Structure 1
Amino acid sequence: MLCRLCDSERLTSVLDLGATPPCEKFLAPDELDLPEPTYPLHLRLCTDCLLLQIPALITPAETFTEYAYFSSYSDSWVRHAQTFVAQAIERLDLTAQSFVVEVASNDGYLLRHAVAAGIPCLGVEPSVNVGDAARAAGVPTETTFLDEDSAAKIRAAHRPADLVVANNVYAHVPDLRGFTRSLRELMADDGWLSIEVHHALNLLRLGQFDTIYHEHFQYYTVHSAQRALATAGLSVIDVELLDTHGGSLRLWARPTALGATPTGRVADVLRLERDADLHQADGYTQLRPRTEAVRHDLLRFLLDQRAAGKRVVGYGAPGKGNTLLNYCGIRTDLLEYTVDRNPYKHGRFTPGTRIPIHAPDRIELDRPDVVLVLPWNLETEITAQLRHIASWGAELVYPLPALHRADLTSHNEVNSATHSGKTGRGAR
């Protein structure tokens, strides 16, 4: 394995999660007796450029031609996108004469707000099914994978973009340098690029190992993102720390030729990373013991619930949840089923662990004793949605960053200790 950023052979193991199926390959009932391919899930660090990465064992086409994830099913994520569009309009002075392109635009969760503001835009989305949903919502969308060829065609057919948005896609591309050049091709020479991506600082510091799965090929600090963007003549001009996905970066980049001066926030975040020892290889050894502690605490909790005769079900069927379930070896004896708001997943089963997925109203029907939330990064949103389970004495439990119960007695987010005596925080 060579580093996909700098071609170095000097890669060292950070965390080996064993072998798991692709996290979004939910099984239909007639697939349960068929073989299910698994692939190693082994995180490594390039000791030369400090890019965290896993081997590219599956292709984006295998994951994204038809995709089970629809962004609009998260209310908080849609609000996040709406706020971003409003802020970008003000920051960049976007008007009806501007042009915005979003790469991996999903079901139009973000660009619908640009359409509503009268700003010309285009989504670039490889998944046919979610692209259809975007077009049905009135968002112009091209169904294609972004590469250098398709970027040149889009630029020629439309025009260079004043703003290119790449939310939660920069980790999903094995050809990192080629994809970065493609982003630059879409941009006007005085344009802007906005990238949102999970911050490896939180992955390491808080043990967020379930964000590691096969469609995430690399994991960024600002330090490593600067190096990646520089390969296409782009410079990080500003950075924001976001609460989304357990702690993300919003990177604002522009063509290096413009000579724009970075804001002080870039230096501030680089300093945070340096203080966490993430600008040297030794700092990455902290992830393994934190990951093992999460698994041990969660399994101990679930075994205690089973011994007490309590009924435990899940909430959500996100990709990260499948990393958690497979790494911990959780099956239906410990988690009877899970529910999800996405109808695409109803009647299917989680990959590897074969846990059935139902509609959310199943919880109200069965009234279980414990609900384990798999998309823990949406703690505030989901706690509000499930506060009513306290009416029959149920508990709402989040597994990460440390196992904790949600306080269902008030509208404030208060976490109480679990049986193990440990406390933790959910999504930042």
Structure 2
Amino acid sequence: MKCRFCAAPLHYVFLDLGTAPPSNAFLRAGDLDAAEAWFPLKLHVCGQCHLVQVDEVQRHDALFSGDYVYFSSYSRSWLDHAEHYVSKAVDILGLGPGSLVMEIASNDGYLLQYIQARGIPCFGIEPTASTAKAAREVGIETHELFFGRNSALELTVSRGKSNLIIANNVLAHVPDINDFVAGLATALAPGGTITLEFPHLLQLVAQRQFDTVYHEHFSYLSFHTTQHILAAHGLRIWDVEELPTHGGSLRLWACHSEATHGETPAVAALLETERTRGMLEMSYYQGLQPLANAIKNDFLRFLLDCKRAGKHVAGYGAAAKGNTLLNYAGVRPDLLDYVADASPHKQGRYLPGSRIPVVAEARIRETRPDFVVILPWNLREEITGQLAYISGWGGKFVTAIPHLEVS
């Protein structure tokens, strides 16, 4: 196995979570009598460029299929995040009716709706048929394809080069990271800007966020490694922001290497932070495994104690990260009765691996569980506000990461 960026042999294991099914491969009732495909979920770290990565054990077009169930628009906090970003980007870059904006992994149009509302020409790239269809239904031009160098060449012929390319939470999802970044450079106008958002590897390690590991995430990115990847394709980072989303993310602002965008002090500051935290040394990439094991064991012990005490435990948020935790811990419906979720695209289905049923939120009011486990802990504030009514019967919230917390 070789590094997907620099092709160096991979000798070091970062984290081994055993085997698991793809985290977004939700089951229908008719699937329950059939076998599921489980794949190794092991991360390696490159000793040369420090890219943390999982092998492509299943083709990306199978992972991001036409039956994909993640729709961004069902999270109010994510919509607010997108709207705030659009307002900032338009102001900073001076975008207007003469500009062109392209978003890669545009999902159901959750972000481009705010670009379009400002009268700025835009279009999306989205390979999953279910979400692409939803975007078109609200009037967002959407091209159903996987983005890379070849598709970028075709798009520049048909649509021209883009003044702003948005790629939120997609860089980590592409198996051929060099082809993807080469496509970004190809599609970007000479004075244009690319913004990239992705979870910061530094926060994954610091906050023990091992549940963010799943097959759809091919790469786990530090700032310095991402800078090297972009530079290899003629792109330069001129600003960086640290964001609270997904437990701690980065937003990079990049341009062609020869462009005139001035570099902000934040770039050098973050590179220095990573250096002082040890991210340039291989020793940094050891030690997460025992912490993940401890979290798993504490969570499983809590569920078993509840079972023995006759307590009712339910879950909220049928998120991919939750599926990683549940499958690593071996949790099944006998310990977690159901998981409620706001998305009708997930309701009536079953979580991959654990086969726990996904239901509407109304089930929580009906069954009045003693504990509600918040699986997407990054949305804890939003969810505890939404479900505050459980305190009426003495219900409590539970999160497992970075450590077990009951409140």
- Aligned-pair distance for 1:42? 0.3
- 1:106 touches 1:130 (CA, 8 Å); kept in 2? yes
SS of the residue corresponding to residue 277 of structure 1 reads coil
Residue in 2 that maps onto 1:182: 183
SS of the residue 1:323 aligns to: helix
Asked whether the 8 Å contact 1:204–1:286 carries over to 2, the reply is: no
Which position in structure 1 is the counterpart of 2:42? Answer: 42
What is the count of residue pairs matched by the alignment? 406
- 2:388 is aligned with what amino acid? R
- Aligned 8 A contact 1:294 1:399 in 2: yes
Deviation at 1:259, TM superposition (A): 5.5
The separation in 2 between residues aligned to 1:2 and 1:259, in whole angstroms, is 35
Alignment of 1:1-400 (within 5 A): 1-66=1-66, 67-258=68-259, 260-400=261-401
- For 1:236 and 1:289, locate their aligned partners in 2 and report how far apart those are by CA, in whole Å: 35
Measured in 2, the distance between the counterparts of 1:326 and 1:287 equals 18
Equivalents in 2 of 1:260, 1:123: separation in Å? 25
What SS does structure 2 have at the residue aligned with 1:91? helix
Which range moves more in the overlay, 308-317 or 263-272? 263-272
Query: What one-letter code is carried by the residue in structure 2 that aligns with 1:369?
Result: D
Question: 5+ residue gaps in structure 2?
Answer: none
Kept in 2, the 8 Å contact 1:241–1:249? The answer is yes
Aligned to 1:420: none
State the distance in 2 between where 1:54 and 1:69 align. 21
2:382 aligned counterpart, secondary structure: helix
Note if contact 2:23-2:214 (Cα within 8 Å) is conserved in structure 1. Answer: yes
Aligned to 1:417: none
Q: Summarize deviations over 1:313-371 as a string: whole Å, max 9, x none.
A: 10011111110001111111211111111111111111111111111111011111110
8 Å CA contact 2:316, 2:339 repeated in 1: yes
| Cα deviations by residue, 1:77-123 (Å, 9 ceiling, x for unpaired) | 00000000000010000011111000000000000000111111010
SS at match of 1:253: strand
Quote how far apart the aligned CAs of 1:37 are: 0.6
- Please tell me whether the aligned partners of residues 243 and 249 of structure 2 are also in contact (alpha carbons under 8 angstroms): yes
For the Cα contact (< 8 Å) 1:206–1:290, is it kept in 2?
Answer: no
Counterpart CA distance in 2 for 1:169 and 1:367 is: 38
Q: Tell me the amino acid that sits aligned with residue 396 of structure 2.
A: E
Helix, strand or coil at the partner of 1:283: helix
Quote the Cα distance in structure 1 between the aligned partners of 2:11 and 2:170. 23
Query: Identity rate of aligned residues, in percent?
Result: 46
Q: CA deviation at 1:405?
A: 2.5
CA shift for structure 1 position 260 = 4.1
> Which amino acid is the alignment partner of residue 138 of structure 2?
A
SS in 2 for 1:165: strand
In structure 2, distance between residues paired with 1:222 and 1:96: 33
Deviations 1:123-178 (A, max 9, x none): 01111111111111121111111122211111111111000000000001011100
Q: Partners of 2:380 and 2:406 in 1: how far apart? A: 11
Partner Cα separation in structure 2 for residue 256 and residue 63 of structure 1 = 33
Quick one: distance in 1 between partners of 2:404 and 2:113? Answer: 37
Distance 1:319 1:273 in 2: 27
CA contact (8 A) 2:10 2:44 kept: no
**Displacement of 1:286 after TM fit?**
2.7
